[in-house]
Amino acid sequence: MKYNFIAIEGNIGAGKTSLASRIANIFNAKLILEQFEENAFLPKFYKDPDKYAFPLEMSFLASRFQQLKDQLGPRDLFKTFTISDYFIIKSLIFARKTLGEDEFNLYTRFFNIIYQQLPKPDLLVFLHLDTPQLQQNIKIRGRSYEQEIQDDYLNKIRDGYFEFIRQQSNMRILVLDTNNLDFVHNEKDYRKLEEIIMDDHPVGIHRYTF
Protein backbone atom coordinates (compact mmCIF):
# COMPACT_ATOMS: atom_id res chain seq x y z
CA MET A 1 0.00 0.00 0.00
CA LYS A 2 1.38 3.40 -1.04
CA TYR A 3 -0.26 5.36 1.79
CA ASN A 4 -0.64 4.72 5.50
CA PHE A 5 -3.22 7.44 6.09
CA ILE A 6 -5.74 8.86 3.59
CA ALA A 7 -8.13 11.66 4.54
CA ILE A 8 -11.25 12.41 2.49
CA GLU A 9 -12.41 16.00 2.71
CA GLY A 10 -15.08 18.17 1.12
CA ASN A 11 -18.01 20.44 1.80
CA ILE A 12 -21.17 19.41 3.65
CA GLY A 13 -22.96 16.82 1.53
CA ALA A 14 -20.01 16.04 -0.77
CA GLY A 15 -20.06 12.29 -0.03
CA LYS A 16 -17.00 12.01 2.21
CA THR A 17 -18.42 9.33 4.51
CA SER A 18 -19.82 7.24 1.66
CA LEU A 19 -16.52 7.20 -0.22
CA ALA A 20 -14.32 6.59 2.82
CA SER A 21 -16.57 3.76 4.01
CA ARG A 22 -16.59 2.09 0.60
CA ILE A 23 -12.81 2.24 0.25
CA ALA A 24 -12.31 0.94 3.79
CA ASN A 25 -14.62 -1.99 3.15
CA ILE A 26 -12.99 -3.00 -0.14
CA PHE A 27 -9.37 -2.63 1.01
CA ASN A 28 -9.79 -3.78 4.63
CA ALA A 29 -8.70 -0.39 5.91
CA LYS A 30 -9.20 1.08 9.33
CA LEU A 31 -12.07 3.56 9.09
CA ILE A 32 -12.34 6.78 11.11
CA LEU A 33 -15.69 8.59 10.85
CA GLU A 34 -16.39 11.99 12.32
CA GLN A 35 -18.75 11.87 15.30
CA PHE A 36 -20.56 15.11 14.50
CA GLU A 37 -24.02 13.86 15.45
CA GLU A 38 -22.97 13.86 19.10
CA ASN A 39 -22.35 17.62 19.05
CA ALA A 40 -25.19 19.33 20.93
CA PHE A 41 -24.23 22.76 19.57
CA LEU A 42 -24.74 21.87 15.91
CA PRO A 43 -28.54 22.25 15.66
CA LYS A 44 -28.32 25.43 17.75
CA PHE A 45 -25.63 26.85 15.47
CA TYR A 46 -27.72 26.46 12.33
CA LYS A 47 -30.54 28.40 14.02
CA ASP A 48 -28.37 31.11 15.63
CA PRO A 49 -24.82 31.13 14.12
CA ASP A 50 -23.60 34.28 15.84
CA LYS A 51 -24.40 32.99 19.31
CA TYR A 52 -23.19 29.41 18.96
CA ALA A 53 -20.29 29.59 16.48
CA PHE A 54 -17.47 29.72 19.03
CA PRO A 55 -18.67 26.93 21.36
CA LEU A 56 -19.49 24.82 18.30
CA GLU A 57 -16.05 25.21 16.76
CA MET A 58 -14.25 24.64 20.06
CA SER A 59 -16.24 21.50 20.81
CA PHE A 60 -15.59 20.15 17.32
CA LEU A 61 -11.89 20.86 17.68
CA ALA A 62 -11.71 19.02 20.99
CA SER A 63 -13.64 15.98 19.79
CA ARG A 64 -11.77 15.72 16.48
CA PHE A 65 -8.41 15.99 18.19
CA GLN A 66 -9.29 13.33 20.76
CA GLN A 67 -10.60 10.93 18.14
CA LEU A 68 -7.67 11.33 15.76
CA LYS A 69 -5.13 11.13 18.56
CA ASP A 70 -6.68 7.88 19.76
CA GLN A 71 -7.16 6.36 16.30
CA LEU A 72 -3.92 7.42 14.58
CA GLY A 73 -1.62 5.82 17.09
CA PRO A 74 0.10 2.47 16.50
CA ARG A 75 -0.90 0.81 13.22
CA ASP A 76 -3.49 -1.96 13.28
CA LEU A 77 -1.62 -5.03 12.03
CA PHE A 78 -4.85 -6.48 10.67
CA LYS A 79 -5.66 -3.43 8.51
CA THR A 80 -3.92 -2.34 5.31
CA PHE A 81 -4.06 1.41 6.03
CA THR A 82 -6.22 4.07 7.72
CA ILE A 83 -8.81 6.19 5.97
CA SER A 84 -10.87 8.99 7.51
CA ASP A 85 -13.83 11.05 6.28
CA TYR A 86 -12.23 14.23 7.66
CA PHE A 87 -8.99 15.75 8.84
CA ILE A 88 -8.37 18.23 11.63
CA ILE A 89 -7.67 21.07 9.18
CA LYS A 90 -11.41 21.34 8.54
CA SER A 91 -11.71 22.80 12.03
CA LEU A 92 -9.64 25.83 11.03
CA ILE A 93 -11.41 26.18 7.67
CA PHE A 94 -14.88 26.22 9.21
CA ALA A 95 -13.83 28.46 12.09
CA ARG A 96 -12.33 31.03 9.72
CA LYS A 97 -15.73 31.39 8.06
CA THR A 98 -17.92 31.31 11.16
CA LEU A 99 -16.00 33.27 13.83
CA GLY A 100 -15.36 36.96 14.30
CA GLU A 101 -11.79 38.23 14.15
CA ASP A 102 -11.07 38.21 17.90
CA GLU A 103 -12.63 34.79 18.40
CA PHE A 104 -10.79 33.36 15.41
CA ASN A 105 -7.43 34.67 16.66
CA LEU A 106 -8.01 32.95 20.00
CA TYR A 107 -9.21 29.80 18.27
CA THR A 108 -6.12 29.71 16.06
CA ARG A 109 -3.83 29.64 19.08
CA PHE A 110 -5.52 26.47 20.33
CA PHE A 111 -5.61 24.95 16.85
CA ASN A 112 -1.89 25.43 16.19
CA ILE A 113 -1.01 23.59 19.40
CA ILE A 114 -3.25 20.68 18.44
CA TYR A 115 -2.24 20.56 14.77
CA GLN A 116 1.41 19.93 15.60
CA GLN A 117 0.50 16.85 17.64
CA LEU A 118 -1.26 14.93 14.88
CA PRO A 119 0.23 13.04 11.94
CA LYS A 120 -0.61 14.52 8.56
CA PRO A 121 -2.33 12.41 5.90
CA ASP A 122 -0.10 10.85 3.26
CA LEU A 123 -2.88 11.75 0.80
CA LEU A 124 -5.61 14.37 1.18
CA VAL A 125 -8.58 13.92 -1.17
CA PHE A 126 -10.96 16.85 -1.68
CA LEU A 127 -14.37 16.09 -3.24
CA HIS A 128 -15.77 19.11 -5.05
CA LEU A 129 -19.48 19.48 -5.76
CA ASP A 130 -21.30 22.61 -6.85
CA THR A 131 -23.62 24.13 -4.27
CA PRO A 132 -26.96 23.03 -5.88
CA GLN A 133 -25.78 19.41 -5.83
CA LEU A 134 -24.64 19.76 -2.21
CA GLN A 135 -28.07 21.08 -1.27
CA GLN A 136 -29.75 18.19 -3.05
CA ASN A 137 -27.61 15.67 -1.17
CA ILE A 138 -28.30 17.43 2.13
CA LYS A 139 -32.05 17.20 1.52
CA ILE A 140 -31.86 13.54 0.50
CA ARG A 141 -30.09 12.45 3.67
CA GLY A 142 -32.69 14.35 5.67
CA ARG A 143 -30.91 15.52 8.80
CA SER A 144 -33.37 18.01 10.23
CA TYR A 145 -30.77 20.45 11.57
CA GLU A 146 -29.11 20.70 8.14
CA GLN A 147 -32.19 21.68 6.17
CA GLU A 148 -31.76 25.40 6.90
CA ILE A 149 -28.15 25.59 5.63
CA GLN A 150 -27.90 28.51 3.21
CA ASP A 151 -26.03 28.55 -0.11
CA ASP A 152 -23.89 31.42 1.14
CA TYR A 153 -22.59 29.32 4.03
CA LEU A 154 -21.69 26.42 1.71
CA ASN A 155 -19.95 28.83 -0.66
CA LYS A 156 -17.88 30.27 2.19
CA ILE A 157 -16.79 26.80 3.28
CA ARG A 158 -15.87 25.89 -0.30
CA ASP A 159 -13.78 29.04 -0.63
CA GLY A 160 -12.07 28.23 2.66
CA TYR A 161 -11.03 24.80 1.42
CA PHE A 162 -9.74 26.19 -1.87
CA GLU A 163 -7.78 28.84 0.00
CA PHE A 164 -6.14 26.19 2.18
CA ILE A 165 -5.36 23.93 -0.78
CA ARG A 166 -3.71 26.74 -2.75
CA GLN A 167 -1.35 27.42 0.16
CA GLN A 168 -0.04 23.85 0.44
CA SER A 169 3.32 22.94 -1.04
CA ASN A 170 4.37 19.84 0.92
CA MET A 171 1.25 17.65 0.80
CA ARG A 172 -0.20 15.19 -1.70
CA ILE A 173 -3.63 16.60 -2.54
CA LEU A 174 -6.22 15.35 -5.02
CA VAL A 175 -9.00 17.74 -6.02
CA LEU A 176 -11.73 15.61 -7.60
CA ASP A 177 -14.61 17.39 -9.35
CA THR A 178 -17.42 14.86 -8.94
CA ASN A 179 -20.30 16.92 -10.34
CA ASN A 180 -20.74 14.46 -13.22
CA LEU A 181 -20.29 11.30 -11.13
CA ASP A 182 -22.56 9.28 -8.87
CA PHE A 183 -19.99 7.18 -7.04
CA VAL A 184 -22.51 6.13 -4.39
CA HIS A 185 -24.91 4.35 -6.77
CA ASN A 186 -22.83 3.83 -9.92
CA GLU A 187 -20.09 1.19 -9.76
CA LYS A 188 -18.18 2.52 -12.77
CA ASP A 189 -18.10 6.02 -11.28
CA TYR A 190 -16.82 4.66 -7.99
CA ARG A 191 -14.09 2.67 -9.75
CA LYS A 192 -12.89 5.83 -11.52
CA LEU A 193 -12.33 7.51 -8.17
CA GLU A 194 -10.82 4.43 -6.58
CA GLU A 195 -8.28 4.05 -9.39
CA ILE A 196 -7.14 7.66 -9.09
CA ILE A 197 -7.02 7.70 -5.29
CA MET A 198 -5.03 4.47 -5.10
CA ASP A 199 -2.50 5.59 -7.72
CA ASP A 200 0.96 6.80 -6.72
CA HIS A 201 0.91 10.61 -6.58
CA PRO A 202 3.90 12.90 -6.04
CA VAL A 203 3.74 15.76 -3.56
CA GLY A 204 1.65 18.56 -4.96
CA ILE A 205 -1.90 19.43 -6.01
CA HIS A 206 -3.52 17.20 -8.64
CA ARG A 207 -6.89 18.12 -10.16
CA TYR A 208 -9.28 15.77 -11.95
CA THR A 209 -12.55 16.61 -13.69
CA PHE A 210 -14.85 13.87 -14.95
How are beta strands 123-128 and 172-177 bridged, if at all? parallel
Asked whether 89 and 114 are in contact (CB, 8 A), the reply is no
Asked whether 163 and 94 are in contact (CB, 8 A), the reply is no
> Would the CA dihedral through 135, 139, 142, 144 be positive or negative?
positive
Q: Is 85 a catalytic residue?
A: yes
Per the residue annotation, which of 48, 70, 85, 200 is the catalytic one?
85
Q: Please give the Cα distance from 198 to 123 (Å, whole number).
A: 10
> By C-alpha distance, which of 18, 43, 14 is closest to 31?
18
- Environment class of residue 101 by beta-carbon count within 10 Å: exposed (0-12), middle (13-18) or buried (19+)? exposed
What residues are labeled active site?
85
